Amino acid sequence: MLNKVVLIGRLTRDPELRYTSSGIAVTRFTLAVDRNYTNQQGERQADFIPIVVWRGQAETSAKYLSKGRLVAVSGRIQTGSYETPEGQRRYTTDVVADEVRFLDWGEARTGRDPEVDRAPDDSFGGIPGFTPLDTDGDDELPF
């Protein structure tokens, strides 16, 4: 059996970080993914897909993602259902993320100056392994 989905889209609102009763981080956001075609009026339509991210990746996503940011998500589709207090059955479909890749960079949502958030090793916003390109006026690419 195979249950794998890969999406690229933009967040429709800021992510919501919560913790389970046992202290596990879970972040939810909705991804707007453009369709490959336009409607009769020439407008491109989009699908709005709910994403669920768990644990450390949930905390990182909540800290660095915000409305409008471009991300790639790979994971699996999970369906479920619940009963409302009125006794109606509701069905849910989510993408549970195994991996979230930030495709554009912004500032951490800390409300502080990004230079203050910069780690001593010059990684961006304290993200290990990220080093910005040296762009001090040289038009040549480093490779």
With respect to residue 71, please indicate whether it lies within any of the assigned structural domains: yes
Range of the domain at 49: 5-102
With respect to residue 76, please indicate whether it lies within any of the assigned structural domains: yes
With respect to residue 98, please indicate whether it lies within any of the assigned structural domains: yes
Q: Is the pLDDT of residue 130 over 60?
A: no
With respect to residue 120, please indicate whether it lies within any of the assigned structural domains: no
pLDDT at 109: 58
Number of domains in the chain: 1
What residues contact residue 111 under an 8 Å CB cut-off, 6+ apart? none
With respect to residue 136, please indicate whether it lies within any of the assigned structural domains: no
Mean pLDDT to the nearest integer, 28-32: 98
57-106 pLDDT, tens digit each: 999 999 999 999 999 999 999 999 999 999 999 999 999 999 999 998 76
With respect to residue 115, please indicate whether it lies within any of the assigned structural domains: no
Which of 90, 32, 20 lies closest to 58, judged by CA?
Answer: 20
CATH number at residue 96: 2.40.50.140
Mean pLDDT score across all residues of the chain: 83
With respect to residue 79, please indicate whether it lies within any of the assigned structural domains: yes
